[in-house]
Structure 1
Amino acid sequence: MNKKDWYSIPNILSYIRLMMVPFFIYYYITAEDRNDFYIATGILVASGVTDALDGYIARRFDQKTKLGTLLDPVADKLTQLAVVAVLMIRWPIFIFLFLLFIVKEGFMLVENIRLYKRGATIDGAEWYGKIATIIFYLTMFVAVIMPNLSRTALYSIVAVASVFQLLSFVSYSKLFKRAHESLDNQQDEKVEM
Structure 2
Amino acid sequence: MNTANRITLARIALIPLFMLSFTQWPAWLADNNEFIRFLNNYGLYIAVGIFALASGTDKLDGYVARKYNQVTNLGKLLDPLADKLLISVALIMMVQADMVASWAAVVIIGREFVITGLRMIASAQGIALAADRLGKWKMVLQVAAIIAVLLGNVPFQWFTSVRVDSVLMLLAVMMTLFSGLHYLIQNFKMLNLNDM
- Report the TM-score, using the length of structure 2 for normalisation: 0.80
Partner residue, 2:80: 73
Question: 1:139 aligned to 2:145?
Answer: yes
Q: Tell me if structure 2 keeps the 8 A contact 1:27–1:36.
A: yes
**Which of 132, 139, 158 lines up with 2:169 in the alignment?**
158
Q: 1:38 aligns with which of 40, 45, 55?
A: 45
Matched ranges for 1:32-181 at <5 A: 32-33=40-41, 35-91=42-98, 93-123=100-130, 125-146=131-152, 152-180=163-191
One-letter amino acid of the structure 2 residue matched with residue 117 of structure 1: A
**How many residues matched?**
175
- Report the identity percentage: 23
Give the match for residue 191 of structure 1: none
Q: Residue 63 of structure 1 aligns to a residue in which SS?
A: coil
* Matched residue, 1:3: none
Judge conservation of contact 2:8–2:78 (CA < 8 Å) in 1: yes
User: Compared with structure 1, are the counterparts of its residues 156 and 101 closer, same or farther at alpha carbon in structure 2 (3 Å cutoff)?
Assistant: same
CA distance in 2, matches of 1:147, 1:160: 15
Structure 2 CA distance for partners of 1:151 and 1:82, relative to 1, 3 Å: farther
> Comparing both structures, which one devotes a greater share of its residues to helix?
1
Q: CA 1:134–1:20 in structure 2 vs 1: closer, same or farther (change >3 Å)?
A: same
Aligned residues of 2:8 and 2:57 also touching (Cα < 8 A): yes
Secondary structure of 1:179's aligned partner: coil
Query: Which one of 21, 27, 41 corresponds to residue 15 of structure 2?
Result: 21
> SS where residue 69 of structure 2 aligns?
coil
**Unaligned ranges ≥5, structure 2:** 25-38
Unaligned runs of 5+ in 1: 1-6, 185-193
Residue type at the aligned position of 1:95: S
The question of whether the paired residues in 2 share the 8 Å contact of 1:37 and 1:147 is answered with no
Deviates further, 135-144 or 102-111: 102-111
- TM-score, normalization: structure 1? 0.81
Superposition deviation, residue 128 in structure 1: 1.0
Indicate if the aligned counterparts of 1:94 and 1:158 stay in contact, CA closer than 8 A: no
Closer, same or farther: CA 45–102 of 1 in aligned 2, 3 Å:
closer
The alignment yields a C-alpha RMSD, in angstroms, of 2.3
| Structure 1 residue 143 displacement after superposition | 1.3
Using the TM superposition, give the Cα deviation of residue 21 of structure 1 relative to its aligned residue in structure 2, in angstroms.
0.3
